[in-house]
Amino acid sequence: MPRLRFTAMPGLAFYGLALCGLAAPLQAQVTVTDLLDRQVTLPAPATRIVLGEGRHLTVLGLLHDDPVSLVAGWRLDKALDEPTQQAYRARFPAIDAIRPVGSGNRDISVENVIALEPDLLVLSLMDQGDPGMDRAREQIEAAGIPVVYVDFFAHPQENSLPSLKILGDLTGAAEKADEFADFYNTRLSRITERLADPAIVRPRVFIHAHASAQNCCSTVGSGVFHDFVTTAGGENIAEGVVQGVLGNVSLEYLIAADPDIYLATGGTHMAGRDGLVLGSGVDADAARASFDRLLSAPGFSSLPAIEEGHATGIWHMFNDSPVHIALIEYLAQSFHPELFADLDPAGTLELIDRDFLPVSVSGTWWVQAGE
């Protein structure tokens, strides 16, 4: 039986390729400059990511309707809190297929990362400079896996939007990143413009980080909550007293410093230390009870700021997400109630839930003395 021979005509071949192109357009190479000024290039937007911080899944949630589908692995240090993970699991059961690639602080398994065959590993600025992490990054890159550095924690106001833009570009969600940046900047500008008047008196604020009456007091010298407080129109009294982001002062120092406002941060991680309990899955009554216990502790109860009702509790985990814009609004309104009477920080959180995040997580995010 003779063989049939088919010869493709050049014009038809071109036409066929054109049709393929219409059905599945080629995705362009993408190059970004990360926060360490390193160029990172992907042949196409990433669809299989390993997260150096598990809780950055919610940052991807600002960009994608199904962030879980993008994540192949994550480091369990700085993982999602349990109520948030449960909320994502209810919407995205595939979250349980995400593989761990490390558990301890600044610990990552090179073998586990490479075995997952990701097209991107996302690390934090907090990983930079650690010898073990630097070696791991070099080995992972040598295996052909690109690594990008972002930051939502060390310098959140300076780096959160650039980091979101980097992740947006690398995952094909640049427009959504720009949309959130517009949302964020509109609210931030409203605050900074009103506070530009040098005649405005800025209250002196003591930031009690991971607040508990035991082993008082952990506080902030620079970065993170210092940035939030100063942007909202306050003065961090520990700036210059504490070198670096986090340090300790004595209760005697706090009493002698006599701040205008006592600002405590807390979370569910503080329940075992009889501290301030706020955040995901915490109802308002439980948050209020923990705050009242803290304020009534010996030494704290006699602090003039607390006696006069100038005490505020906030969720500590605002420190690693661009959602912190709602916290800045809340602090600005707390520090300058007449100047910012029109702000609605709870409404800002609702808008973020509605317009950006695929999953809404209930909880208590702040509490005021006397409310």
Residue 167's CATH number: 3.40.50.1980
Shared domain check, 166 and 120: yes
Give domain status of residue 254, yes or no. yes
Position 370 scores a pLDDT of: 77
Radius of gyration in angstroms for the set of CA atoms belonging to the chain, rounded to a whole number: 24
DSSP helix/strand/coil, 53? coil
Shared domain check, 161 and 234: no
Give domain status of residue 11, yes or no. no
Shared domain check, 324 and 211: yes
Tokens of 216: 């008082």
Give domain status of residue 346, yes or no. yes
The model scores a pTM over 0.85: yes
Position 246 scores a pLDDT of: 87
Among 155, 172, 189, where does a domain finish? 172
Which residue is associated with the tokens 């308002």? 284
How many Å apart are CA 309 and CA 305, to the nearest integer? 6
Tokens of 75: 């480091």
What domain range includes position 101? 28-172
Give domain status of residue 15, yes or no. no
Position 78 scores a pLDDT of: 86
DSSP helix/strand/coil, 158? helix
Shared domain check, 209 and 335: yes
Shared domain check, 354 and 206: yes
Q: Residue 48 class from Cβ within 10 Å (0-12 exposed, 13-18 middle, 19+ buried)?
A: middle
Position 22 scores a pLDDT of: 46
Shared domain check, 333 and 206: yes
Cα of first residue to Cα of last residue in the chain, in angstroms, is 92
Position 21 scores a pLDDT of: 45
Give domain status of residue 17, yes or no. no
Position 223 scores a pLDDT of: 82
In a structure prediction context, what are the per-residue pLDDT tens digits for the chain, which is 371 residues long?
A: 333 332 333 343 333 434 444 444 455 899 999 999 999 999 999 999 999 999 999 999 999 999 999 999 999 988 999 999 999 999 999 999 999 999 867 789 999 999 999 999 999 998 998 999 999 999 999 999 999 999 998 888 999 999 999 999 999 999 999 999 999 999 999 999 999 999 999 999 999 999 999 888 999 988 889 999 999 999 999 998 988 788 999 999 999 999 999 999 999 999 988 999 999 999 999 999 999 999 999 999 999 999 999 999 999 999 889 999 999 999 999 999 999 999 999 999 999 999 999 999 999 999 999 77
Shared domain check, 243 and 159: no
Shared domain check, 152 and 251: no
Shared domain check, 227 and 152: no
How many Å apart are CA 313 and CA 331, to the nearest integer? 10
Position 26 scores a pLDDT of: 52
How many Å apart are CA 231 and CA 234, to the nearest integer? 7
Shared domain check, 225 and 136: no
Give domain status of residue 73, yes or no. yes
Number of domains in the chain: 2
Question: Which residues make beta-bridge pairs with 248?
Answer: 218
Helix (H) or strand (E) holding 315: strand 311-315
Shared domain check, 154 and 35: yes
Give domain status of residue 45, yes or no. yes
Give domain status of residue 196, yes or no. no
Q: Which of 295, 294, 100, 324 is nearest to 224 (CA)?
A: 324
Helix (H) or strand (E) holding 17: helix 10-23
Shared domain check, 161 and 291: no
